[in-house]
């Protein structure tokens, strides 16, 4: 059974936890404040989701990273080499309160994250939908809500595509990080923040 960790319990990390819990998919969620701070969230989502430390969540087969852009470098500096495990980059190079885009010099944000996540097979996903759509019913509009994903490892993308399907979303592979990550990156990506539904 593939194990799943979530680092970050803000809006996106919590939405991913809720989506997994809806399907009774087990995961460990962690934040910088420790498991005790997650008590209310864990009580809400039920037993499929457990609280842990960042170090514990980072040991899983698939690790979702959902923290503020300015904290990513510091986070990955504390984590060991991922040894070929999958890291799902759910982040966008922008954060409250100013929501001013970070200047990346033409490089996709996920390419920056790929350089920080040592030894990881990085997949960009779960970043382009608003949190309430991620945690809501994927079939509420008569079809299946679309989740885009991209990456440079075909095998890693296949695993995330399969997980997306288990969550009842319609996954669409956008290709490599250099191509796909730019399309969904917020702000500026042509597909960023789009709520699309696949019928049939």
pLDDT tens column, 31-90: 999 999 999 999 999 999 999 999 999 999 999 999 999 999 999 999 999 999 999 999
Number of domains in the chain: 1
Tracing tokens 């409250």 back to the chain, one arrives at: 96
Length of the chain measured in residues: 200
Q: Which candidate, 51, 89, 56, 85, places its Cα nearest to that of 72? A: 89
Write the CATH number for 60.
3.40.50.720
| Tokens found for residue 147 | 């989740």
Work out the number of other CB atoms within 10 angstroms of the CB of residue 166: 12
pLDDT tens column, 25-46: 999 999 999 999 999 999 999 9
User: What's the mean per-residue pLDDT of the chain?
Assistant: 95
Domain that holds residue 165: 4-198
Q: Are 185 and 110 within 8 A, CB to CB?
A: yes
| Tokens found for residue 93 | 């190079």
HEC letters along 100-116:
CCCCCCCCCHHHHHHHH
State how beta strands 62-65 and 49-51 pair: unpaired
pTM for this predicted structure:
0.96
Structure-derived torsion over alpha carbons of residues 78, 80, 84, 89, reported in degrees to the nearest 10? -10
170: left (phi over 0), alpha (psi -120 to 50) or beta: beta
Read off the pLDDT band of 129 (50, 70, 90): very high
Task: Please give the Cα distance from 157 to 180 (Å, whole number).
Answer: 12
């Amino acid at each position: 059974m593939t194990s799943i960790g979530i680092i970050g319990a803000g809006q996106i990390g919590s939405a991913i936890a809720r989506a997994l819990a809806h399907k009774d998919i087990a995961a460990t969620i962690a934040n910088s404040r420790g498991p005790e701070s997650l008590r209310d969230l864990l009580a809400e989502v039920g037993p499929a989701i457990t609280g842990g430390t960042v170090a514990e969540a980072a040991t899983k087969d698939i690790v979702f990273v959902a923290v503020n852009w300015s904290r990513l470098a510091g986070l990955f500096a504390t984590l060991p080499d991922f040894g070929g495990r999958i890291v799902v980059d759910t982040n966008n190079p922008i954060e409250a309160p100013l929501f001013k885009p970070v200047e990346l010099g033409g490089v996709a944000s996920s390419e920056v994250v790929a350089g920080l996540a040592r030894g990881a097979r990085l997949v960009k996903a779960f970043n382009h939908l608003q949190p309430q759509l991620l945690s809501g019913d994927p079939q509420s509009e008569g079809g299946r809500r679309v989740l885009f994903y991209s990456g440079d490892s075909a095998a890693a993308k296949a695993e995330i595509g399969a997980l997306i399907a288990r969550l009842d979303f319609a996954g669409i592979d956008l290709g490599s990080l250099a191509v796909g990550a730019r399309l969904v990156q917020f702000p500026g990506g042509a597909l960023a923040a789009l709520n699309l539904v696949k019928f049939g």
